[in-house]
Amino acid sequence: MRSAPENPVRDESQDRSGPSQCEVSAAAWQVVAEVLQRMQNDLDRAWTLEDAARTSGYEVHHFAHTFRAVVGTPPLAYLRQLRLERAAHQLVLDAHVAIGDIGKAAGYGSLEAFTRAFRRAFGMSPRYFRREGSSRAGGRADAPQPHALVDLTFPPGLHTEPRIEQLGPLHGWTVIAENFDDPLAIAAAFMPLLVACPPDGPWQLGGVSQPWGWVSGSGMQELRALRIMPASAPAPEPPIVPWRLPRGWFACFDYNGEQDGIAGACAWIMAEWVPRSGLRAGFAPLFSLVEGVLNMSPVRARLHAPIEAIG
C-alpha cells in the first residue's frame, strides 16, 4: 500500500463562509456523495483540493464551500478522517500488521503522530482499540438515513427497501477466494470451512469483501468465503483465518435470485445505491449471508453494506 502524505496540501476551504446545509440543493448533495465515494475508492492517492473539485465538476472555491456545507468539515480534513477510519478497520482485521505500518499507510510519519490523531478521532489509542475497543467502535448512535430514491433500477432479485441495522461485533472464519463468479472457485473456498465446522442453521455461510476499490481504486478487491462463528471458537487451522468485525451501521438488503448474481448486486449497492442515497460507505467489510446450503436455486441471501451518514 502506498504511503499517503500526512499533509498533502493546505486545505483552503477553512473559510467558514458559504452555503448552509439547508441551502444546498439535492443535486449538490449527490455530487458531494459521489466525490466521497471516489475518495474512498482511491484513498492512497495524494488528493488535493483541486483534484477533488475537478472530480465534482465544480469550481474550486464553490466546491470547497459546498463540501463543507454538506459534510461539516473541509475536504482534506475529511480525507484524513477517512484514512483514520480505514486504519481502525485494519487494526481489527489485520492483527498481524504492526501499528506503526498502519499509521504510515494512513499518512503519518511516526507512531506518535498516528497515536495522537487516532486518539482524537476514537477516544482511545490504536493499541487499546486493537485489543478491546472494537466492540465499542463503529459510527454514530443514530442510524444513518438514506434519501428517498426515484428512477433507480435495482438488479434482479434485490429488494428495493433495505433495513438500516447496527451489527457487531461479529466473529467468523474466512478463506481467501479467487473470485465469486466461478462455481469451482466458490466451492474450493468454502470446502475447508464446511469440513472444519458444518453449519447447523441458517445465515451462517456467505462471502465478504473489503470496502475499498469497488469503482476506480488502485487496490484489488479481497474476496473471502465466510463462516459466522461464536467468539469462543478455537483458533482455526490454515487455510482458514479468523475474522472479526467491529460494531457499525449496515444497509441490509434481502436478495432472492441466482447465486451468481450476488456479487454483482453487492458491487451495484456500493457503486450506485450508497452515493445516490446521500450516504457514504463505512470502512468495514461488505458481507453476505445465505439462508440455507450453497448451490440452491434460487438462493435467499442478506447483503450487508457498511454505511455512514454524511455530515
In a domain, 146, yes or no: no
The reported pTM is: 0.76
**pLDDT computed for residue 182 by the predictor:** 83
User: Based on the domain organization, do 168 and 132 belong to the same domain?
Assistant: no
Query: How far, in Å, CA of 152 to CA of 130, rounded?
Result: 39
**Number of structural domains the chain divides into:** 2
User: Based on the domain organization, do 85 and 184 belong to the same domain?
Assistant: no
User: Based on the domain organization, do 193 and 116 belong to the same domain?
Assistant: no
Residue written as grid cell 457499525 = 248
List average pLDDT for each run of 10 residues in the chain, which is 311 residues long. 35 40 66 82 88 92 91 90 86 85 94 95 88 59 85 93 91 89 88 94 90 47 88 92 86 94 88 85 88 79 92 67
Query: Domain of 187?
Result: 163-309
In a domain, 227, yes or no: yes
**pLDDT computed for residue 37 by the predictor:** 78
CATH of the domain at 176: 3.20.80.10
**pLDDT computed for residue 207 by the predictor:** 93
Residue 221 backbone dihedrals phi, psi, to 5 degrees: -70, 130
CA dist 311 to 37, 89, 172, 247, Å? Answer: 14, 20, 32, 20
In a domain, 147, yes or no: no
User: Based on the domain organization, do 100 and 50 belong to the same domain?
Assistant: yes
**pLDDT computed for residue 214 by the predictor:** 43
